[in-house]
A and B are shown apart, each in its own frame.
Chain A
């Protein structure tokens, strides 16, 4: 323990984050929850970070930029989150480390913003449940939800709701139908639907449909409150809440582009015909982009090999 603490204190990234947090606190711009210890959170984050690898198995701490690691840790502390309580986790996207809030994390930030100890509650509504609600001056209020155990099947989900308890106010409830929940999933970066519009059976959303539905409705409900906070001492928290989401989205998207853009050569057969006449004459051997390009498409290969075996060596790179 002593060695670990020493090493964490000596780590320049963590040290830098700790100093920035102290500065923000002393300037009065950041007020962390009384029971939150930034040191403990940083310590457990640093331990977790040692074990995180990217999709190629390389350690995140080696591939990710110092700046992205610093920002991820700063966002964690500013939002008062703790990785040991699974309120957040870290994901490397390319060379960007991002801090992702979990469902518990979002609930935790909301409680902080509302200054309450009562956590938001989310529940799933199943086909066959007795579920009733009223709308009073635009506010929804669940008046009855009776569930039978036999209804509890993930294929029976028809909706979900989340209630938040702001002190000195009426509870606030957000209700979403399964269609609205699916629409939110479609727009998420992990879109779990395939091209035909079916939920991929191996997706987290299909496997843990109840938890994901609760998470979606909770996120929507909590954002209502985080958006409407008027306490300026929480500005930094609110700012960080969105900044970390945006950073995660940007990084995930950049990775998607890097993985998918400019990959597949389109339409092999069409170019095949043209190559027969033009490959020798029209393509000077000047290298160009060819070193990075794939072999000719395999499916058009056999016919050519059979009919014009002598032409094979001439074919290079992009000409299908």
Chain B
């Protein structure tokens, strides 16, 4: 499995993942030309895009992708919230598997202030990728994961200090708290799951203001003993 980070964070999220047979985009929250450039203009190689929710930093290029002939898979709520129709906009149900090329994909519900946000569990052969972003926490536990892309957005202490210093408003803090994953919650998630087969953990959607990439990486590596990459 090859995971390429095109962009990660509140300014835009887009990842390319391939099992060698079928290439997918996870999110499309950057300008379309930027996606094209990152993919060496070979959109035809992309079989589909999986979209977690409608916010701009995840869905910005959805319309362009659909026009370019790429199917976009998302929830009914997200499709509605996007506000446009296309026969390529494919609606999937949480906890109901679907297949795209060589991938079998299980969407599941997440905890975010969007219409109907999803996370995805992607299987190809013996490999299993968990993709979970923009979620205050995960309700579920997963088995036999080999790759994990997990949001690790903020550290509560840093966030509180920023509020106290007037850099972040209380409103923003409230929103972050209820819709993004903290370092602490990410740690607890990793502790609660069976990581024996995990080869790589990629921490995604870090906040520039309320996070600390190096410390997050070190702390997650220490508790999991796994290779940790920051997107």
Contact = CB atoms under 8 A, between A and B. Distances in A.
B136 interface: yes
A301 interface: no
A293 B141 CA distance: 9
A318 interface: yes
B192 A266 contact: no
A318 B185 contact: no
Given A253-B177, A288-B196, A318-B194, A263 B106 contact: no
B173 interface: yes
Contacts of A283: 196
B106 A267 contact: yes
Nearest to B135: A261
B142 interface: yes
Interface residues of B, number: 29
B102 interface: no
B141 A257 contact: no
Contacts, number: 78
A261 B139 contact: yes
Contacts of A288: 194, 196
Interface string A244-263: 00100110010001001111
User: Chain B contact residues: over half helix, strand or loop, or mixed?
Assistant: mixed
Nearest to B177: A253
B144 A261 contact: no
Given A261-B137, A264-B139, A274 B144 contact: yes
B139 A263 contact: yes
Interface in B130-144: 136-144
Nearest to A292: B192
Contacts of B137: 257, 260-262
A242 interface: yes
B210 to A, nearest CB: 14
B106 A266 contact: yes
B86 interface: no
A246 B173 contact: yes
20 contacts: A246-B170, A250-B156, A253-B136, A261-B137, A261-B138, A261-B189, A262-B139, A262-B140, A263-B140, A263-B141, A264-B141, A265-B140, A266-B106, A267-B97, A274-B144, A282-B197, A289-B192, A318-B141, A318-B194, A319-B143
9 interchain residue pairs of minimum CB distance:
A262-B192, A261-B137, A266-B140, A318-B143, A257-B137, A265-B141, A262-B141, A289-B194, A264-B140
Interface of A: 242, 246, 249-250, 253, 257, 260-267, 270-271, 274, 282-284, 286, 288-290, 292-293, 317-320
